[in-house]
Amino acid sequence: MADKLHPILVLDDEERVRELLMDYLGEYDEFDLFGAASAEDALELLRQRPAELCVVDMRLPGMDGAEFIESAAAAKLCHHFIVHTGSVDFSVSQALQDLGMVKADVFYKPANAADVLARIRELITQEEA
């Protein structure tokens, strides 16, 4: 088991998608996982318990994923963000690039969970280095 569990928030309004990703990541003793179905709920959770990384769906009820990322980053509630979206036309906006996001941080549903895990590990490792 890892010395420190990395707090990871999974934000997706589709409960099944959120749970499947959390179940997959939970197979590894590396993460302290928590989830939310809306950006507003996610921000509230993060105010109580900041995350090292957030996996974010773009199409959400209310505040969308990009607005969530900008808000969470501005409040320093999450260090890294990965987009997990069904929006095939999504691209990393200039505002998200300014927050350090790159094309490698975007996964289109249905994404290979092993690839998402590899990117999470890469971002966390960069932080620890």
Q: Radius of gyration (Cα) for the chain, nearest Å?
A: 13
Residue 54's nearest CA partner among 71, 69, 44 is 69
pLDDT of 2 strictly over 60: no
pLDDT in tens, 68-85: 999 999 999 999 999 999
Which structural domains are found in the chain, ordered by start? Answer: 6-111 (3.40.50.2300)
* pLDDT value at residue 100: 94
Helices (H) and strands (E) in the chain, counts: 5, 5
- pLDDT computed for residue 1 by the predictor: 43
pLDDT band at 129 (very low <50, low <70, confident <90, very high): low
Going by the DSSP 8-state scheme, the letter that residue 55 receives in this structure is E
